Structure 1
Amino acid sequence: MGKSKNKRFRRPPFSPTGECEAAENDEAGLDDSPAVELLEKLQHPSAEVRECACAGLARLAQQQPSISALTRRDAVRQLGPLLLDPSLAVRETAAGALRNLSACGGFEVCDDMVTKDIMTPLVALLKECSIGLDSSEISLKKNKELNKNYVEDIANEAVNVLWNICECSSRAVSIFNKEGCLEIVLKYLSRFSTNVDLAISVAFCLQAVTEDNPELLKSFNAPALQVLESAMFSPTSSMEYTLLKTLVAGTVWNVKDVLPSKSQADTINALLKIFSDVLEMDVGEVVIQMKEAETQRLNAATETETEETDEMNGDTLNEDDEMEEVPHKRKVRRKTFISDLLPPTEKELKQTLALLTAQQIALEIIVNMCCSDDPSDDEWDEYSSSDESDAFMDNSFNELSGQLMSPLCLSAEVHTALTNYLIPKKVFEKITFPNSMAVDICSRNPTWKPLIRKMNTIQCRALVCLHSILSVLDVDCLGGAPALQTLAQHLSQLIFSQPDFIKHTEFLEAISSALRTLLQIMASKNISQMVKKRKRQQLRSNYYLP
C-alpha cells in the first residue's frame, strides 16, 4: 500500500454513513429472534410488510452483535432477490439493508456476500436503474406528492453496496470489470448537476475500483474521460460539489496512465489546483459559519410557525368573541411544530462533513502522489503500527554512512505543481487543530460532536502528508532554513500542547514520524533546530531521536 518510508492511503472499507452502533449485548447472550422475525417477513405477499422488514434489517445491520446473527441466518441470500422486487420501495430498502450490512460487516461479511452471489442481482439492478434513468421524469411525475425519484434513490443505495463490496473483495472488482459496470456508473456520474449525492457515491466507488486495477484502465476511452473531466471542472456551488471534484480528481490520478502524454502535465496541475483550493478553506471558520446559518434557518422556521399559529388563534378567538361567556382569551399552541419536522442539522452538518471529507481525501491523494509506484507499495499492509516507525528508521538512514538518503524520485510535473500551488504551506497549516470556538460548538452539540473526531483525522493526515512532502522536496522548496526552524518549533509545541497525546496512537505515530524526518533533514543540512533543551530531552526519551 506504500513504500516503507512513505505511507499511501486507501479508504477504510466502510461507508461514511454506515457507522456501527455500540454493542449493547455480549455476543454470547445474543438473541436472534428479531432477525428471525424480520427475515420471515421478507417473503410476505404484502409489499408494505416486506419494505418494513427490510427497514428493520437495515437498523439491525448497524448493531455489531446483530451482524453475526444476520450472517448465520443467511440474510444476504434472502435480501438479494428483493433488489429486483416488483415494488420500488422494497428495492430501495433492501439495498439500504445490504448497504449497512456491507459497511458495518467489514472484509469477512463483504467477501461472504460475494460468495453468496450478491453481485448477480446487484449488477442487474444497476443495469435496470441505468435504463430507468432515461424515463426518470415519468418516475418524478408519478411520485410528485413524495418529491421522490425512486430510480436515482435506488441507484444511490445500490452504488454504495457496490462501493463497499469492491473495497473489500478483489472478486467483486473482477466482476465489476467483466460486467461492464464502469459504463453504468459513469452514466450515473454524468447526472452530477441534478443529483450530487448520487454522483458523490459513484465518485467514491470509482476511486476505489480504479486503484491498482490495470484491467479496468482499458475501458477508459475518450467518452469516459470526458465524463470525469466534466465532473471535475463542475462549478463549485456547495461543499458537496467540492467533495465531488476532489473524489473525481483522485480517480483521474488513478487512471493517469491512460491519459495522453502531452496532457499529463496540465492534468497534474489541474488536480493539485483542486487540492490546493480545498486545503485553503479554514475548517474552523466553516464550522462557525455553518452553525450560524443553521441557527438562522431554524429561527426563521420558528418565526414562520409562530405567525401561522397566531393567525390560527386569531381565527379561533374571533369565533369565540361571538359567544357571550368566555372565561379568558388564551392562545392555543399546536402540539407539532414546523421546526420539529425539520432535520435540525441536515443541511449545514452535511456541508461541513463534505468539506472535512474532501480535505482528508486531498491530503491522502497528495501522500500517494509523493510515493513512487513499485512492487513494494503493498509493504504497508505487512507492518503493524509499531513496525511502521521502525521501518521508517531503517530506510531513512544509510547503514554505512548514517547520512539521510536522497529524496524519493518525484516526477517533474508533480514537483512543479506542488510548489506552484503552495501545497507544503497549506499542509503545514492543517497540522494545527481548528480554533477553540469551532471545537466548542461541536462539543456542545451531540449531532455536531462527531466532527471533532473528523478534525482529528485531518490533523493526523496532514502530519503524514507533511512527512511525505519532507521526503520528496528539497529545503529550498520547503521555504528554506527559517521555515524548517519555525516548523520544528511548532511541531514540538504541538506535541506538548496535548498532555494525553500518548492515548491517541495515530496522532503519536504521525507527529513522531514527521518530526523525526524534519530533524534529520535539518541535521543533515547543519540547520540549527532551535528546540529548547528541556523539550529536546523529552523528545529523546519519547521518540529515541538522535
Structure 2
Amino acid sequence: MGKVRKRKPNKTQNNIVADVSDEELPVDSKENVIQTILDQLQAANVEEKYCGLQTFAFIIESPENIEQAIERGVVKAVAPLLLDPAGSVRNAAAGSLRNLSAVQLEVCDSLMEQDIMTPLICWFDKHAENWTPDTNSKTKMEDVDTFIQCINLLLNLCESSELAVKYLGQSRVLSILLPKYLDIGTFGCDIVASVLQCLFVVVEDNPDVMEKIKLTCEKQLQELMSIEDTDPSILLIRTLSAGVIINTCGGNMAVLPVNVINQIVSILAMTLSIDHRLVCNQLSSIVPLNDGSGKFEPPKGKDEQMLDCQLKSASQILDAQQRSIEIIANICSCDDASDQMEGPESSDSDEVGDDEDSNGEGVVLAEDKLPPEILEALISLNIFEKVWARTQLPAENVMLILKEYEGSKLLHQKLHTLQTRALLCVNNMLSSLPVDNLGGVNGIYKIWIDVGKLVFKESSENLYILESATAVMRAALDKIKFRENGKSGECDLFRDLSLSDIEMMITGIRECQVPEIRSNLIRMIGILALLLVNKLNETSSSVICAITDFILEQAHKENEVWVLAEAIDTLVDLYSEDETDELAAKVKLVEKLSILAPILKNKARQQRKLPKEYKVLVSTATSNLPRFIKYKKGRVTKL
C-alpha cells in the first residue's frame, strides 16, 4: 500500500512550472494545460521535461483532473521518462506515477491498460541490477528516492492488479531485488523496508514467489527479524520480515517451529506496545500551527531537522503497526469456517432454524481453529488489548493539527487507516478467541457499546471505518449470542432494550447507501431481537415485532440480492425458536416471507456475478427459505 508522497518543487525550476493553481480551471484551460504538459514531456530539453512532470504532479492532486489526463495519454508520455538519461527526470517521473497509483484501484487499472509495467520493469533491469548508493555522489538521495518511488509504484500496481503480479513473476525484477536489496548495511533501512513492503504484498497467494523467497533469502529474513533494536525503522523491518515469512508459508503460521511462532508474535506485540496516540500528541506540539489566515511558519535549521525526523519516525511506527495488525487479522481469519456451507445441501432438515449444534457439540468452533501454540502466544502477550488500543484515535485537536499542516497530512490519513485495520482485526479476533480471553460477555458487550458510539454518535463520514465498525458490532453480538445461546441469565444485558434504543440504528439503516454497512446493521438488530426471545415480556415482544417489521420493509426495498438474503437469513434465525410462534403469527411472518421468496429467487437469477461468500449466502437463503416457510406455517396453524 504505497502512500502518497508530495514532491517538493525544485527551487531552480519554479519559474518555468505552468500556473495551474486554480483547481477549478475551465475545461478549455485544462485542455491547454494538458497539451502544454504533453509538449514539454516530449521536448529534448531536460528542463522542459522536468517542468512538464512537475505540472503533471500538481494537476493530479485534484481527482477531477486525473481521468482527463489519462484519457489524453499523459501517462503514456510520462512512463517512458522512467528511462530518461537525466536522473532528475527519472525521479520526477517515478514520483508522479507513484502518487497517481496511490489514488484508487481504478487508476491502477488504467495504468495497467496503458502498459505502465513495461517501462517500470525496464527501469529495474537498467538501473537497479548493478546499483548501490554512492556516498560520494551528489545525486545519492535523489537516486535512493527514485528507487523507493519505483518500488512503491510496483507495490501499488501489484496490490491492485493480478496482471501486474503475473508480469512481475515473468520478469527478472525479483531476481534483481533478492537477496541483494535486503542488506541494511549497504542500502539502508528505507530501501530495505520498501522492498519488504513490496514482498509482503506480492508473496501472498503466489506459490512461485513463495518458493523464490525461500530459496534466495529465507536466512536473511530471519536475521532481519532477529535484530535487537527498538528504533522505529528497525521495528518496521522486523515486522515486515515476520509478515513475509508467514506469507511464504501460505499464511499457515502453524507450520513454523514454535520458537519462531513465539518470536513473531513477540515482535508484533512489541510493535503494538508503542502508544501511537502519545507519539502523535508529542509530534503535534512541534508541528507549525495555522496563523488564522491559512498560513504556516515553517521551521528552519535544527527545528526543521527535528520535525522531519519525528514525522518520519511517526510514519514508520504507524506503518509497522498497520502491518502488525494485518498479520494478526490474517492469523485470526476463519474463512475456512464457511467451507462447510458451500451449497444449499448444507441443511436437509425441514426445521432449518434449529441451531442445536451451535452449543459446540459435533462441530468445530471458530475459536478452536487456531493452533494451541498460536492461541497461547496471542493470549499471553495481550495481543487483543493492543489491537483494540489502535482503534482509538488521538484527541480531536491533535488530529486537526496533523490534518492542517502539509507535512503531517499523510499521518492523519494513516491514523484513520490504522483505525480501520484495527477494527477489522478486532472483528476477526472476536471470532477466533475464547470469550473468557475477551473480558467475558460483559467485556464483549462493552466493545459493542464503545464501537456503537463510533458508528452512531460520532457521525463518521469515513465509509471504510463505518463498515469495519459495524462488522465489529455484529461480531460482538454474534459472540454473545453464541456463548449464551439465548438462554443464559447474562443476556439480561439487553433486558431493558426499548424501541427508542434501536431507533438510531433503524434510522442508520434507512439512510445507509453502502450495502456492506447496511448488511451488518440488519444482521446486528436481528441478533439483538434474538437475544430477547428468551426474555419475552410486553416490552421485548414489541421490540422484536418492530425489528421484524423493519427488516421485512427493508427486504422489499433492497436491490442487492446478497443483502436481501442477509435480511431473510436474519429473520429465519430469529424465528427458528419455537418460542416465537405467537410473535410470528402476530406479524404475519409466513405470509410476508411467502411474498419475498419469489423476489429473492428472481434477484438471485439476475445477479449471478457475486463474490464467493455472497454466492454462498444467497444460495443458502434461497434453499432454506421455502423449507422454513413450510416448517413455520405448520407450527403457526396449530396455535
State the TM-score, normalizing by the size of structure 1: 0.73
Greater RCO structure (CA 8 Å; 6+ sep): 1
* Structure 1 residues 108 and 445, CA gap change in structure 2 (3 angstroms): closer
Is the contact made by 1:488 and 1:518 (CA closer than 8 Å) also made in structure 2? Answer: no
* Structure 1 residues 475 and 460, CA gap change in structure 2 (3 angstroms): same
Matched with 2:374 is 414
Is the counterpart of residue 364 in structure 1 residue 326 in structure 2?
Answer: yes
Q: Determine the C-alpha separation between the residues in 1 that align with 2:101 and 2:122.
A: 18
Find the residue that maps to 1:31 and give its secondary structure.
helix
**AA in 2 matched with 1:109:** V
- TM-align CA RMSD: 3.8
Is the contact made by 2:239 and 2:324 (CA closer than 8 Å) also made in structure 1? Answer: yes
- CA drift of 1:173 comes to 0.6
Q: Determine the C-alpha separation between the residues in 1 that align with 2:196 and 2:26.
A: 36
Q: Determine the C-alpha separation between the residues in 2 that align with 1:514 and 1:499.
A: 20
**AA in 1 matched with 2:61:** Q
Q: 1:466 aligns with which of 426, 437, 447?
A: 426
Is the counterpart of residue 123 in structure 1 residue 116 in structure 2?
Answer: no
Does 171-180 or 76-85 show the bigger shift? Answer: 76-85
Q: Determine the C-alpha separation between the residues in 1 that align with 2:57 and 2:180.
A: 24
- CA drift of 1:233 comes to 2.9
Does 493-502 or 357-366 show the bigger shift? Answer: 493-502
Is the counterpart of residue 190 in structure 1 residue 148 in structure 2?
Answer: no
The number of equivalent residue pairs is 465
Find the residue that maps to 2:212 and give its secondary structure.
coil
Q: Determine the C-alpha separation between the residues in 2 that align with 1:447 and 1:533.
A: 50
Matched with 2:516 is none
Does 269-278 or 364-373 show the bigger shift? Answer: 364-373
**AA in 1 matched with 2:383:** I
Matched with 2:445 is 488
Find the residue that maps to 1:528 and give its secondary structure.
helix
**AA in 1 matched with 2:242:** A
Q: Determine the C-alpha separation between the residues in 1 that align with 2:500 and 2:22.
A: 39
1:16-45 Cα shifts (integer Å, max 9, x gaps): 4379x9994499777222121112112222
* Structure 1 residues 462 and 262, CA gap change in structure 2 (3 angstroms): closer
Is the counterpart of residue 53 in structure 1 residue 52 in structure 2?
Answer: yes
Q: Determine the C-alpha separation between the residues in 1 that align with 2:195 and 2:382.
A: 30
Q: Determine the C-alpha separation between the residues in 2 that align with 1:340 and 1:446.
A: 19
Matched with 1:312 is none
Is the contact made by 2:284 and 2:402 (CA closer than 8 Å) also made in structure 1? Answer: no
Find the residue that maps to 1:410 and give its secondary structure.
coil
Q: Determine the C-alpha separation between the residues in 2 that align with 1:27 and 1:186.
A: 48
Does 534-543 or 460-469 show the bigger shift? Answer: 534-543
Find the residue that maps to 1:39 and give its secondary structure.
helix
Matched with 2:477 is 516
Q: Residues 127-206 of structure 1 correspond to what in structure 2 (within 5 A)?
A: 127-134=125-132, 136-137=133-134, 140-143=135-138, 148-187=140-179, 189-193=181-185, 194-206=187-199
**AA in 2 matched with 1:252:** I
Is the counterpart of residue 400 in structure 1 residue 345 in structure 2?
Answer: no
Q: Residues 30-429 of structure 1 correspond to what in structure 2 (within 5 A)?
A: 31-104=30-103, 106-134=104-132, 136-137=133-134, 140-143=135-138, 148-187=140-179, 189-193=181-185, 194-257=187-250, 263-292=256-285, 338=300, 342=304, 345-372=307-334, 399-401=353-355, 403=358, 406-407=365-366, 409-429=369-389
- CA drift of 1:423 comes to 1.2
* Structure 1 residues 208 and 48, CA gap change in structure 2 (3 angstroms): same
Q: Determine the C-alpha separation between the residues in 2 that align with 1:97 and 1:174.
A: 24
1:74-100 Cα shifts (integer Å, max 9, x gaps): 223222322111111111111122212
Find the residue that maps to 2:44 and give its secondary structure.
coil
Is the contact made by 2:334 and 2:366 (CA closer than 8 Å) also made in structure 1? Answer: no
**AA in 2 matched with 1:170:** E
- CA drift of 1:445 comes to 5.6
Q: Determine the C-alpha separation between the residues in 1 that align with 2:443 and 2:6.
A: 41
Q: Determine the C-alpha separation between the residues in 2 that align with 1:504 and 1:362.
A: 22
* Structure 1 residues 489 and 530, CA gap change in structure 2 (3 angstroms): farther
**AA in 1 matched with 2:387:** V
**AA in 2 matched with 1:63:** S
Q: Determine the C-alpha separation between the residues in 2 that align with 1:201 and 1:103.
A: 15
State the TM-score, normalizing by the size of structure 2: 0.64
1:162-220 Cα shifts (integer Å, max 9, x gaps): 11111122111111111132232335642435532222322221111111112222212
1:407-441 Cα shifts (integer Å, max 9, x gaps): 25222332222123221232343444445675576
* Structure 1 residues 231 and 86, CA gap change in structure 2 (3 angstroms): same
Q: Which runs of 5+ in 1 are unaligned?
A: 1-10, 296-334, 380-397
**AA in 2 matched with 1:120:** T
**AA in 1 matched with 2:332:** C
